[in-house]
Amino acid sequence: MILEDEAATLKWAEQFALTLKPGAVIAISGNLGAGKTVVSKGICKALGFQGNVSSPTYTIVHEYPNTPPLFHLDLYRLSDGTDLEEVGWDYFITSKGITLIEWPERLGKNQAEITHVIQIKILSDNRREITVEEKSPQ
């Protein structure tokens, strides 16, 4: 799908969010500035969270109070060798919430728990190509 501007990406994410079930673990891939946080904002908004959504770049994870619970991870600055258990991975994936992961390339062995992969490609300043793949249960 081609998204002509940020508003189109937000709208796409809001629609996509409505297909999600509690327990979903969503990898959001794309280069710096591709729109991973924009997609995260749209998903959180559509699921009822009205607060601010921003990249948890330094804290690695933001937990937004919501039903279902929302976990927003940004693994860009995850130090090499850091075990995801230390940031609460088991808690996220057993909480029947929705887990959003920017920079999922750093998940290592935990990749297996991903249920959806979103890929965002920058075509120009404002245009993006977005794809989503649902993983079959392991």
Ligand X SMILES: Nc1ncnc2c1ncn2[C@@H]1O[C@H](COP(=O)(O)OP(=O)(O)OP(=O)(O)O)[C@@H](O)[C@H]1O
| Min separation Cβ 33 and ligand X, Å | 5
Q: Does 62 bind Mg ion (CB under 5 A)?
A: no
Instruction: List contacts with ligand X (CB under 6 A).
Output: 3, 5-6, 8-9, 30, 32-38, 55, 102, 126, 128
Which residue's beta carbon is nearest to the bound ligand X? 35
**In what side-by-side order are the strands of the sheet with 25-29?**
2-3, 128-134, 116-122, 25-29, 98-102, 70-74, 61-64
Secondary structure (3-state) at 122: strand
| Min separation Cβ 51 and ligand X, Å | 17
Give me the phi and psi of 113, to 5 degrees please. -90, 0
Q: Which of the listed partners (ligand X, Mg ion, none) does 72 bind, with a CB threshold of 5 to 8 Å by partner kind?
A: none
Q: Which of the listed partners (ligand X, Mg ion, none) does 126 bind, with a CB threshold of 5 to 8 Å by partner kind?
A: ligand X
Nearer of residues 112 and 123 to ligand X, judged by Cβ: 123
Nearer of residues 8 and 87 to ligand X, judged by Cβ: 8
- Give the separation between CA 78 and CA 121, rounded to whole angstroms: 23
| Min separation Cβ 35 and ligand X, Å | 3
| Min separation Cβ 136 and ligand X, Å | 26
**Cβ contacts of 75 within 8 Å, gap of 6 or more:** 60, 101, 102, 103, 104, 105, 106, 107
CA separation, residue 58 to residues 6, 76, 95, 134 (Å): 24, 9, 23, 29
Q: Applying CB under 5 A, which residues contact Mg ion?
A: 36-37, 55, 102
